Structure 1
Amino acid sequence: MSPRWETNPDIRTGRHVSYNLHAHLVFVTKYRKDVFDDAMLKRCEEIMREVCGSFETELKEFNGERDHVHLLVRYPPKVALSKLINSLKGVSSRYLRAEYTDRINRIGLGSAFWSRSYFAGSCGGAPLSTVRQYIESQKRPT
C-alpha cells in the first residue's frame, strides 16, 4: 500500500523526502516610493520567475502595487529561504535599475531599490490548530 501523500498532487517528493512548502513573500520599495506601473511589475515578475527557476523553486503567484510586490513561492526543503530572498531582491534590483534608470532616478530612490526588510510567512497545508490536534492525538507508547 502506498503512503497517503502519493495521491495528493500538491505534495512533491525527492529521494528521501516528501514536502509541500510555500512561502508568502512581500518586498517593499525603499522609502515606500511609488515606483511600479503595470509594465514594470510584469518585468519584475519575469525576473523573479527566472530567479526562482535557478533555485529549483516555483513562483506560483505574483502581484503588486505601486510600492510593493507579493509572491507565493513553492520551494523544496534544500532551499534556504533567506538565500532565495536575497537573490530575488538583488537580481531584480539590478535588472530593474538598468532597464528603468530614468524612471527610478526621477522618483529619487537613491542607491537601493528595495527596503532592507521583507515579510516571509509560511502558508499552505492545514491550520496550526489542526496540526496541533493531530500531533496531540498520536498514540504515544507507554
Structure 2
Amino acid sequence: MANTYTQIHIQAVFAVQNRVSLVQPLWKEELYKYLSSIASKYGHKVLQINGMPDHVHLLMGFRPTQALSDLMQELKEDSSKWINIRGFVKGKFSWQAGYGAFSYSKDQVPRVIKYIQNQENHHKRKSFLEEYEELLKTHQIEYDKRYIFKSIE
C-alpha cells in the first residue's frame, strides 16, 4: 500500500481589515483556540499561534490534503462569523483580503515558535508592516508595496 510522507511547516500571517486593532486581550485566547480547531478539523497541527490586536501568526504542520488558499479562506471566514456572532466588536469584524505564508524546515521550527510567542516584544521595536516586509524579504518574495495589506483609512 502506498503512503504519503510529508513534513511541511507553514507560518501564516493575516491581518484585521484595515489593520485596525480589534483583537482584544479578553477574547484573543478564545479566538486562537477557535482558529486552531478549524485547522485541526482538516488534519493540520497548530504548533504556535499568537499575534497582536491587528494581526495573527499561526505556525502549523501542514497536511497536503487541502490547498493552503482553501484553509486560509476557511480560517478567516469561519473566525469572522464566530467573532461577529459573539458580538466581540462593535460593527462588523472581518479579516483583510490576502495573507502571507512562509515555509520552514524542521530545524527552524523552534526559532519560529519563539518568535511567534514573543510578538509583543517584537512590536515594541517595529510595526506590523515593517515585520511583514521583513518576512517577505527574508523569504525572497517579490512584492509590490501598493498591495501589501491595505492601509488604515
Query: With structure 1 as the length reference, what TM-score do the two structures score?
Result: 0.69
Structure 2 distance, partners of 1:76, 1:15, is 16
More strand by share: 1
Give the corresponding residue for 1:105. 90
1:64 aligns with 2:48: no
Which one of the candidate residues 80, 85, 95 is aligned to 1:114?
Answer: 95
Query: SS in structure 1 opposite 2:50?
Result: strand
Q: Unaligned stretches of 5+ in structure 1?
A: 1-13, 129-142
Which structure has the larger Rg? 1
Residue by residue, what CA displacement relative to the aligned partner does 1:17-66 show, whole Å, maximum 9, x if unpaired?
Answer: 21110110011000111101222211111111110121011111000101
**Is residue 30 from structure 1 mapped to residue 17 from structure 2 by the alignment?**
yes
The runs of at least 4 consecutive aligned structure 1 residues that moved more than 3 Å come to: 125-128
| More helix per residue | 2
* CA distance 1:57–1:15, change in 2 (3 Å): farther
- 1:115 is matched by which residue type in structure 2? Q
Structure 1 residues 75-84 or 60-69, which shifts more? 75-84
Matched-pair contact (CA < 8 Å) for 2:83–2:93? no
1:1-142 mapped onto 2 (5 Å cutoff): 15-101=2-88, 104-105=89-90, 111=92, 113-125=94-106
For this pair of structures, how many residues does the alignment match?
A: 109
Q: TM-score, normalised by structure 2?
A: 0.64
| Aligned-residue CA RMSD (Å) | 2.3
Which secondary structure does the structure 1 equivalent of 2:35 belong to?
Answer: helix
